[in-house]
Structures are given as C-alpha cells and as structure tokens.
Amino acid sequence: MSGADPRAHVRPHGATVRALYDLIAASGARALAVVGLVKNAGKTTVVNALMADCPALFGLTSLGLDGERTDHLTGLAKPSITPPSGTLIATTQGSLDRSRYTMEPIEELPFHTPLGRVLIGRAAGDGAVEVSGPTTLGELRLTVDRLLALGCEQVIIDGAINRLGSASPRVSDGVIVATGGMVGDTLDDVIETTVGAIDLLTLPGVGAETRKLLAPHVAAGDRCVAFSSGGVAHRLELSTVVGEGVTVAREVQRLGAGTLLVGGALTQEFVDDFTRVLPPRTELRVVVRDPTVLVLPPAMVSRFLRKGIRLEALTPLRVFALTVNPFRVPQPYRPKLFFSAVAEAVGDRVPMLDVVNGFARLPEAGVDLATSASS
C-alpha cells in the first residue's frame, strides 16, 4: 500500500480515555490484559492512551511476541507502543535490539525466551518499543508480580485473541477487548466475530452446587468427566479431548449426561466433531477451567449456544470494556454508525468505548456522544 498511513494523525479523546481508566481503577485490578481481535483493531491506541493520559504508574509486558511487524492484508505497519518516560517495561533483549530502544535497566528475570532474557527497565524517553515477554503463564505471572513489587500501580499485558492466555485469571484481573472495522470483510462479519468474542470471554461462572460436584475431579486433574442423572460421575479415560469430539459426544449421549467437565483446551476440531454428533437442542452444560481455554474462533462459540449447550467456567473473566475502532482499509466506517451497530449487537453486557471519536456507553450513563465526534 502506498501513500500516507491514515492512522498517523489519530489522537485519543481524553475524557473517554479517562472514563475507561475509571472503570479499571474502580475494579481494583492490578493487572489487565488488552486483547485485540485482529491487527489494527485499535489495541495499541488504547494501550498508548491509557499510559499517556492516566495518572497511574503503569508497567508493561506481553505474553510472547505479537507476530509480524506488518499487517499483510493492508501493507500497514503495526502501530507502535510508545510508553511515556518512567513506565516500567518487561521485554526481551531481542526486542530491545530489534526496536533499538534504550531503557534504564533494573533487573534481569531468571528465564529464557526465543528472543533472549526478559529484562525489566524504566522508559527513559518517548520512543517506540517492541514488547515481547515470557512464553508461559507461570513466567508471565512472575513478571507481573515483579513489576508490581517495583512500584507499578497497574500492569498492562499486551495480548491478542490468538494469545488469549494473557487474559487468564492466573495472570490478569480482567481484560479490555479491542474490536474494529478490520475484524471482518463486512459489518456483519465484524459484528459476528465481536459478539462471539464477548460470548466467549463472558462465560458465566458455575453455581455453588455445581462447583461442589466438580471439585474432587478438578483437584484430581481429570481431563473429561460426564455427569449423569443424580450427579453420578463417569470419568472418560482420555489423556486429552483434542481429536476426541466424536468419542466424547457419543459418551454424553450414551450416559444421558447433563454436565460435562473438560479439563483442557477446547479446539475448533473438537467443537466441530462434538456438535456434529449431538442432536439439536441437547440439554447439556459444558464446564471449562476459564474462557481462555477455548482455542477456537470467537464466532464458533455461537455453534455451542445454538445447539442448546450451555458453556460455563470454573473461573469466569472480568471484561472491563469493549473498545471499538471504525478504521478499515480502504474506507473507514462512519464512526457513529459503526459504534451504534456494534453496541446494538453486543447489548449491555460490557461497557463500550471509542477512545478516539469520544463515544461511550457506560453502565451508569448510557450513550455519551462527544460533540467533537463525526457521524
């Protein structure tokens, strides 16, 4: 793509950014993941705006590295993270070398990544930095804890829908989801994927009785357990459910199970096979550890729901907000119409904000349209 980058002069709307920060601060969250549904969904704009316009001392890290520097669909470079001076950053030596970024070193963490050691330092200027972090949730948790111990009030974990572990309750207190015009070829595609992502991330938690029923099997690390009438447990002898969707569905049918505990990841292949075998309107509750174990396109969550299957989580996530960005190539959506269409489809499950055009739908305030926003 030739010509100027159409995002070059984007400036966040200060009052809307502060409203987003107020949601985070009111929650008491210390670590938050910011997850983009695709490249150029506005995630980096949100991260930069929070760090620049809000009073907290932020820390910044990532789960692994967010892939290529360029969006191959548009030819546009990925937006750069530009932490203000004083921000504490945990990134790899390789990323520092690649971005030619200089920070005041504080400490080196005791684990390796494909891009070298993870270093913690203090931003000394306002340049762009490539942020890459540890590759396991345990190491990411240690990294977040060190940033907090060094004085950060909140830690931002840079994430993406294909690195959803960044939003795991093991490492973060909640998530901001960024969607935008680049999520799909049409507005209907954008809405389907966005609604699917919110469906996925806002799975309800199990009730007290169900938690009590499942507790011994969760503690034992059982991979797949079906519960028939009266709460009778039937442990399926599987080391993993990956590739076993047909087997599990047939066992659910044979046992007349009403609840299924899945201890590992649910993949697209499993969901395809599982839902193909089960008859329509199957009365079944599928319980997973938390929403981040659903390793499948967000829109596929609706396939479970259409079957009448309920998805629940042992540990639900907190979704602080959905941010929306009308940018797309070659022609952006009209901001007000885009915001309204997504808001209508998502409903009132989560607060929604457009941090550039100044639109916000907050729990206590309804829809607030900034006078400076275009329609």
Largest Cα span, the chain: 66
**Is the preceding omega at residue 330 within 30 degrees of 0, hence cis?**
yes
Task: Name the band, by pLDDT with cuts 50, 70 and 90, for residue 12.
Answer: confident
* Percentage of residues in the chain having pLDDT higher than 70: 91
Q: Which of 53-57, 156-160, 252-256, 362-366 has the highest mean pLDDT?
A: 252-256
Given a cut of 60, whether residue 374 has pLDDT beyond it is no
Residue linked to tokens 């044979």: 254
Buried b (16+ CB within 10 A) or exposed e, 163-188: bbbbbbbebbbbbbbbbbbbbbeebe
Q: What pLDDT score does 29 carry?
A: 96
Phi, psi of 235 (to 5 degrees): -80, 120
Given a cut of 50, whether residue 372 has pLDDT beyond it is no
Least confident of 248-262, 307-321, 355-369: 355-369
What's the rounded mean pLDDT across residues 165-183? 95
Q: What pLDDT score does 22 carry?
A: 95
Instruction: Please give the full DSSP string across 288-342, using - where no structure is assigned.
Output: ES-GGGEES-GGGHHHHHHTTEEEEESSPPPEEEEEEE---SSSPPPHHHHHHHH
Parallel, antiparallel or unpaired: strands 352-354 and 309-313: unpaired
Q: What pLDDT score does 305 carry?
A: 77
Domains of the chain, first to last = 14-202+317-369 (3.40.50.300), 208-313 (3.40.140.80)
Instruction: Identify which has the larger pLDDT, 372 or 24.
Output: 24
Residues in Cβ contact with 90 at an 8 Å cutoff, skipping those fewer than 6 apart: 59, 60, 61, 109, 118, 119, 120, 133, 143, 146, 147
CB 362 within 8 A of CB 351: yes
Q: Pick from 69, 302, 42: which is nearest to 182 by CA? A: 42
Q: What is the pLDDT of residues 55-103, one digit of tens each?
A: 889 999 999 886 555 554 555 666 789 999 999 999 999 999 988 888 9
